[in-house]
Amino acid sequence: MSDHVYKSVELTGSSETSIEEAVQNALTKASQSIENMQWFQVTETRGNIENGTVAHWQVSIKVGFTLE
């Protein structure tokens, strides 16, 4: 981590399939405006239900990136 300063932001991604894909979807969207993303931490895992079935996984993450 040396001499860098990091900022972290909180994002929520969703997926019909898995927790992993929901996280990746959030990162893919965020990488359009944030460079140098280094790490993430899952802060909440939720979902919505339709007819007794998980319709979307909704996963919140903190993402850390280098402040240039």
63 with 7: CB under 8 angstroms? no
Name the E strands within the chain. Answer: 6-15, 37-50, 53-66
Start-to-end Cα distance in the chain: 14
- Cβ 8 to a second copy shortest distance, Å: 5
Binding mask 21-60 for a second copy (x = CB under 8 A): --xxxxxxxxx-x---xxxxxx-xxxxxx-xxxx-xxx-x
Size of the site for a second copy (CB under 8 A): 52
Residues that bind a second copy (CB under 8 A): 1-14, 17-20, 23-31, 33, 37-42, 44-49, 51-54, 56-58, 60, 62-64, 67
